[in-house]
Amino acid sequence: MFDPQAGISAVKLFERAGIEVIFPMGQSCCGQPPLNSGHADEAKTIAKSQLELLKNPWPVVVMAGSCAATMLHEYPELLKYEPEWKNLAENVSGRLFEFTEFVAGQLDLSIIDVGASVKIALHTSCSARRKLNSLQQGRDLLAKLSNVELVIHDREYECCGFGGTFAIKHGDVSAAMVHDKAISLLDAGIERVVSPDPGCLLNIGGHLEHLHKKENKPLLKVQHVASFLWERISGEQA
């Protein structure tokens, strides 16, 4: 919903690799916002609605690390007292991947970088980094792009301050965190920020735009890693 182009780019990548993509039209939010706000019953209802769509035994690729972590770790816990649903949640968890996990670990994707030389930073969400441990897979994937230099900036390991409802409930703290992150990115001399997490990109990109308008800072492009990867391989602007 934040970045539909990311999903479109992922579909193009998979189809280029000879993979048939099935997109269940009943998809919605994964339920993380109500779960994080203490509304377990609402989150459970959402979890069931999503699991119902994912019964077929093929891999499930998720375009946001925090959503993948919720489905992987929280769904089985939410449904632990309902055996049929718990079994389905565990079944789905066993074949669920965040996008970079799937591309780096499951696909034998031929990557020829047709783009111009560019310096980028990779931002990996807290959930992807700490719950999925997919940071290195993201780095490995980008390392296959011969004309891309991945820069590790000073605050690379820090949260961007988004955290879904955290940014609403603790606005001042969130704003300070994303400011520190944005300044570190600007100081790193990069041209673009890529991430597998649309929420983080929304937050970081918004603050970079604010700094550009208010302080005339350079405007860095922010982009989902799927769109960036498709752009580098296809030569199309994503």
Encode pLDDT of 10-25 as tens digits: 999 999 999 999 999 9
Where residue 163 falls among pLDDT bands split at 50, 70, 90?
confident
Instruction: Write down the pTM of the prediction.
Output: 0.93
pLDDT band at 237; cut points 50, 70, 90: confident
- Split at pLDDT 50, 70, 90, the class of 236 is confident
Nearest to 203 by CA among 232, 173, 231, 163: 163
The domain limits of the chain are 4-104, 110-234
Mean pLDDT of 98-113: 91
What's the whole-number mean pLDDT along residues 60-80?
96
Question: In the CATH hierarchy, which top-level class contains the domain 110-234?
Answer: alpha beta
Mean pLDDT over 200-207 rounds to 96
pLDDT at residue number 209: 97
- Angle subtended at Cα 129 by Cα 161 and Cα 81, rounded to the nearest 5 degrees: 95
Beta bridge partners of 119: 149
List strands edge to edge, sheet with 118-122.
148-150, 118-122, 192-195, 221-224
Please count the residues of the chain.
238
When the pLDDT of each residue in the chain is averaged and rounded to a whole number, the result is 94
- Angstrom distance (rounded) from CA 65 to CA 68: 5
CA distance 184 to 119: 14
